[in-house]
Structure 1
């Protein structure tokens, strides 16, 4: 007997199979991209290791990071996105499925051929519309980062640079 898989089950089974693609489901449409390159991964790890509270004594946001985690967003299509790095103020629950917790901030690292995924309507604008306060998109080839915040014009940084986020965390982009 056959049964239909939900989009979340399909994404999770693709992950478990070791397929060389990452799947997302955004605004009712599936999206995919090839697994990231070493340049992409090195930039992401550098940024993730740099995340910390702006002032550790304030105890506001824990600046908890998860890389490449599947997140269900509160849009009408219940989109499933996988930011390169999600920053949370409180630790998300352990789960083998998509988590239903919106991150305070998201970092995306650009990969050649997939720039529209992170900079187009389903990238930074999507995240900001559905509750993410900061989106940082880093281009490891140009060593630049664009910082998006709701209600503000994007700010471009030339690495190395420290980017301060609205949640009280900061991160370093490499130069």
Structure 2
């Protein structure tokens, strides 16, 4: 029987993205151009805010394989860390400070209903779901959910700021 890394490789070769969320396998088509352009634009805007935590380097990675404390495997569109994350042979094991997911058509339930509570439950402090078509932004943190519109610059709990 193939191991999890073999399944990830098979999924990539087949043009789909595999994530394991709380033991539930979730398949998603690989991102389209609009999705990729949004990720690139958002990543290019990541900086440390003027009043931000000077100990946070605001390192950001796209589609990074992360093994979360509960054993789940996720590949957020953008993961933001204060320091270089620890990596095993196959996955990063540190929990990011913030996660940005770019909404994919047909995968709204995964991005809006499964993702935010999962990430918050694993210790991610800020979760943002951005819709590149409507420019709607949903920002989730321990205080709840805020719905706002792009263009806007958000400052996360770690002191990193991101423009949508």
TM-score interval w.r.t. the shorter chain?
Answer: over 0.9
The Cα shift of 1:79 comes to 0.5
Which residue is 1:143 aligned to? 135
The Cα shift of 1:58 comes to 4.9
Which residue is 1:162 aligned to? 153
Aligned residues: 164
Counterparts of 1:50 and 1:42, CA distance in 2 = 13
Q: Give the unaligned 5+ runs of structure 1.
A: none
Which residue is 1:11 aligned to? 8
Which residue is 1:109 aligned to? 102
Counterparts of 1:52 and 1:43, CA distance in 2 = 17
Which residue is 2:112 aligned to? 119
Counterparts of 1:146 and 1:85, CA distance in 2 = 15
Q: Give the unaligned 5+ runs of structure 2.
A: none
Measured against aligned partners, the alpha-carbon deviations of 1:78-107 in whole angstroms (never above 9, x if no partner) come to 000110000000012466511111100000
Counterparts of 1:128 and 1:7, CA distance in 2 = 24
Which residue is 1:90 aligned to? 83
Counterparts of 1:138 and 1:57, CA distance in 2 = 23
Contact 1:12/1:97 (<8 A) preserved = no
Counterparts of 2:15 and 2:118, CA distance in 1 = 25
User: 1:129 pairs with 121, 124, 129, which one?
Assistant: 121
TM-score (norm 2): 0.93
* CA distance 1:98–1:142, change in 2 (3 Å): same
